[in-house]
Chain A
Amino acid sequence: MSRQSLSIALTGSGGSGVMTMGNMLLEAVAKAGWYGIMTRSAGPQIRGGEAAALIRVSNMPIESHDDSFDLVLAIDPASMGRFVAEIPLRPDSFVISDPQGGRRSSSLPESPAKVIDLPMKELAKSVKGGRPNMIALGAIASVIGLSETSIFAILKTMLESKGADALGASRTCVQAGFAAGADLLEFNTPQMQQDTDTQRWGITGNEAAGLGAVRGGVRFVAAYPITPATEVLEWMAGVLPSVGGVLVQAEDELASINQIIGASFGGLPSLTATSGPGLALMTESIGLAVCSEVPVVVLDVMRCGPSTGIATKTEQSDLNIALNGLHGDAPHLVLAPSSITDCVFTTQWAVHLAESLQAPAIVLSDQSLGQTRAIMNRPADITFMARRSVPAQSAGYVEENYTRYAIGDSGVSPMAIPGQPGGQYTADGLEHSQSGAPSSLPEDHLAQLDKRQHKISQFNYGEHWADIEGSGELAVISWGSTCGPIREALARMRDQGQEIRLIAIRLLAPERPSEMAAALVGVKRLLVVEQSHSRQFHRYLRAAYDLPDETRVLNRPGPLPFRPAEIMARLDDWGEGTGS
């Protein structure tokens, strides 16, 4: 089956109901049996500003947006200007916009697309309590071939709580929009009915990461709100009580990280979620978790930095701080999911690794994964559960001469949990002897540094350290959300008969030199793809691994996503020399 898809952008001023409309449209196409994704793009304004819902629907699971959009519906044409770069159009694309309220020509000077008028505001005025976004929803549904009744069903479930009047007004607007859309334009919707036997989910990356954490056994979360990570925390606040867990809203990120260290010291697998600024505040205490050997998971949903940067938009630029932000020699885990589905797996795996290794794990998601809602196949069940080594007890007591930081073969020493008689020790950020007593002796420092490094390095991470897909002398290496458009680009190239390999790294720290060497066997040309201005990932690869001589880089900062076609173009146009 070949991929067929349809890309639709909905834009409007903030508060015009673009996201509501997008959610309803996604729900409708999901009910009709399609897969899809919807990414939120907005300014930092709470109300006002501009918002866009970027939607792609397909006959098969998708992880990325397409090269361009087929259809744009601009409720407020003036709002489109903000999104020119984010919504590439073709000459055969359509823009449906309201002739009232700003001239689209001034906001889209270069647009090659055909512009079609739809007086949404005027149509909405004729309905008591009517809103232009519902006119737009009806029109879009009609244009792409959804049934009116399917939209009514969505309205009923999503608006029932707003009362009969609001529901009735929305229904009337959808009807009016549907009628207006019927002969608005000639649009060939691809046939996209898929088999509906597979259990499908509608879930965002942020919810998926939260779910992975809960599946992995996390039962304590400390939370300080920050864009774009807040939804992880909000979702967990709702579900943790029902699985015997708890979420505490903390006063700041310094408190969040220390609360989870305290809770984990008490025996509960613990997590916090944040974004770049919060991670920066937490780094001192992540070092504490390293030194005191307390497992915690810190999920960083990355956004454009440095400083406040662009809080609502995606970037892969927290790699450096996640890998190298801790002072001292501080071995820890850094992982990254490469798709929304993978947010479940990777977060769950991170909990398992943190608990198994008594070390902090940083999981790098990003805004484009976290705030994209996907209609996807239900992720497989995974059996990783939090498994922490605790000292054995006989006759109710921990064995005599228990030493918390004993040097053993694996580097992992059993961690007594408060309440265990005879297991008492002091967890310490001071360097310590094997018993945990503070020590400034060089031999204790060396022994404990070795222990903490060894447990991380020697662990068998198995095949999950990376996804190696395809084969060939040409390969792409990447991590995180950029793997979405890469996977699509490579699929298209394979359809054209090219052999090409993808190395999508999931475990960024510790490094896996022998596994990487095996993954690169036979690779002559390697393209590094990353969303970072200073090529953080390329620098990391060069420091950690032996790369082929012909290694090139495709990089740029956020927030603009890579498009499959530009990755294909970069691979086709390999060129001479060493530049990128």
Chain B
Amino acid sequence: MNRNTACPHIEPRGYKSGVKPVWCPGCGDFGVLGSITKALSGLQIRPESTAIISGIGCSSRMPTYLSTYGFHGVHGRALSLATGLKVARPDLTVIATGGDGDGFSIGGNHFLHTCRRNTNMTYIVLDNQVYGMTKGQASPTTEPNWEKGKLTPSGTGINPFQPLVVGLASGANFIARCSSSDSNGTARTIMEAIRHPGFSMVQVLSPCVTFRPEQREWKKLVQPAPVEATSDAAQAARRLLTDKGLFTGILFRGSRPPYQPELKSSIENIAELEEEFCL
């Protein structure tokens, strides 16, 4: 663990744990790891005051590679772990990371309700439209006609999940899309997401070069959204429903107050609580 004792300024590499990632060479997730360290360095958030929370999947390995506090939990429950931590410890910067399967399939219910609850934290979804760790099955964001998934050799035949549309409808307070190929741009967006109050979601298109090699083309196809971020949910919905999923940038900035029950410091004597039982 890096102690960061000598110098108050922490470089991006100071946020790396030194554990070697399990990812395949060329995986988009390396870029996102770099973007997260740049964002944390950019904001100069202390590693001991930061917690990276994840579930299961390739991208869910993220916490181990960072020098912050971390929790690598079970499949699909990252947002629940993160919610409990943030409500209990509002002083911490809490960031959940994970993939499209973890977040939108097995963890779909938590995604809906975490958007709705609007707890002040950031959710970075590394979307590669495939289950990589289990070696190439269709995920909720896979196109219906992708025929290379062994569980769905004729394609899924069902429409992909639209994370940002669903996030917006469910109440996410900040919505952005990035590409892992643009490390600095992604870092800037993550900084904005962390700064923005409430639940911020950042979808990062992060190619799986092993099972979806065609995604290497993403870096040529993505382009900055031609419009500025809006705070109008209706306008954001129209844009999200009409884009092809390849526009990047901050797409929505809401102004709903975050969910944060007050943790009082003045503590009543337990004996006073017990009075209600006395006869």
Residues of A near any B CB (own CB < 8 A): 30-31, 199-203, 207, 211, 214-215, 219-220, 222, 239, 241-246, 248, 250-252, 254-268, 270, 284-285, 287-288, 292, 375, 378, 397, 400, 402, 416, 418-430, 436-438
Quick check: A424 and B81 within 8 Å, CB to CB?
A: no
Q: Is the CB of A262 within 8 A of B53?
A: yes
Q: A262-B81, A268-B89, A438-B72 known; 6 other A-B pairs, CB under 8 Å?
A: A262-B53, A262-B84, A263-B88, A419-B49, A426-B64, A427-B72
CA–CA, A219 to B81, complex, Å? Answer: 16
Are A427 and B70 closer than 8 Å at their CB atoms? yes
Q: Is B3 an interface residue (CB 8 A)?
A: yes
14 A-B residue pairs with CB within 8 Å: A201-B277, A211-B273, A242-B264, A254-B77, A255-B80, A255-B113, A257-B80, A258-B81, A266-B51, A266-B88, A268-B89, A426-B52, A428-B72, A429-B72
Q: With a CB–CB cut-off of 8 A, which chain A residues contact B61?
A: 438
With A246-B261, A427-B71 in contact, do A215 and B270 touch (Cβ < 8 Å)? Answer: yes
A378→B87 contact, CB < 8 A: no
Most chain A C-beta atoms within 10 Å of own C-beta, residue among B3, B5, B77: B77
B71: contacting residue among A239, A255, A422, A426, CB under 8 A: A426
Assess whether B80 is in contact with A265, with CB atoms less than 8 Å apart.
no
Question: What B residues does A421 contact at CB under 8 A?
Answer: 3-5, 46, 48
CA–CA, A268 and B92, complex, Å: 14
* Shortest distance from the beta carbon of A35 to any chain B beta carbon, whole Å: 10
Q: How far is the CA of A560 from the CA of B72 in the complex (A)?
A: 44
Which residues does chain B contribute within 8 Å of A255, judged by CB atoms?
77, 80, 83, 109-110, 113
Q: How far is A214 from B267 in the complex, measured between Cα atoms in Å?
A: 12
Q: Contact at B68–A424, with CB atoms within 8 Å?
A: yes
| Contact status A207-B48, CB under 8 Å | no
CA distance in complex: A30, B70 (Å): 52
Report yes or no: A426 in contact with B73, Cβ–Cβ below 8 A.
no
List A contacts of B86 (CB < 8 A).
Answer: 262
Within 8 A of A (CB), among B40-91: 46-49, 51-53, 61, 63-64, 67-74, 76-77, 80-89, 91
B262 contacts partner chain A, Cβ-Cβ < 8 Å: yes
Q: Which residues of A contact B74 (CB under 8 A)?
A: 258, 284-285, 287-288, 429
Per CB-CB distance, the 10 closest pairs between chain A and chain B, nearest first, are A262-B84, A259-B84, A258-B80, A426-B70, A263-B88, A262-B81, A251-B113, A262-B85, A263-B84, A266-B89
| Interface SS of chain A | mixed
B279 at the A/B interface (Cβ < 8 Å)? yes
Q: Check if A424 sits within 8 Å of B48, measured CB to CB.
A: yes
Which of B17, B69, B77, B81 has the most chain A CB within a 10 Å cutoff? B81
Number of residue pairs A-B, CB distance < 8 angstroms: 197
Measured between beta carbons, the chain B residues less than 8 angstroms from A219 are: 88
Most chain B CB within 10 A, of A202, A261, A426, A427, is at A426
Least CB separation from B83: chain A residue: A259
Q: Is B7 an interface residue (CB 8 A)?
A: no
Q: How far is the CB of B188 from chain A (nearest CB, A)?
A: 25
Q: In the bound complex, how far is the Cα of B48 from the Cα of A93, in angstroms? A: 70
- B110 / chain A contacts, CB cutoff of 8 Å: 251, 254-255
Q: For A429, list chain B residues within 8 Å (CB).
A: 72-74
Residues of the B chain whose Cβ atoms lie less than 8 Å from the Cβ of A245: 263
B88's contact among A268, A288, A292, by CB below 8 Å, is which? Answer: A268
Give the contacts of B96-111 with A (CB-CB under 8 A).
Answer: 109-110
Chain B residues with Cβ below 8 Å from A427 are 70-73
Cα–Cα, bound, A287→B46 (Å): 31
Is A244 touching B89 in the complex (CB atoms < 8 A)? Answer: no
Residues in A with CB closer than 8 Å to B113 are 250-251, 255
Q: How far is the CB of A215 from chain B (nearest CB, A)?
A: 6
Q: Which residue of A lies closest to B4 (CB)?
A: A421
Contact B88 A241 (CB under 8 A): no
Q: Contacts of A288 on B, CB cut-off 8 Å?
A: 73-74
Q: Which residues of A contact B69 (CB under 8 A)?
A: 416, 418, 423-426
Q: Chain B nearest CB: distance from A162 CB in Å?
A: 20
* Cβ contact of B81, chosen from A244, A265, A423, cutoff 8 A: A265
Contact B3 A241 (CB under 8 A): no
Residues in A whose Cβ lies below 8 Å from that of B4: 421
Closest to A245 in B: B263
B221 CB-CB contact with A under 8 Å: no
**Complex contacts, A400 vs chain B, CB 8 Å:** 3
A397 in contact with B268 given A203-B277, A248-B87 (CB within 8 Å): no
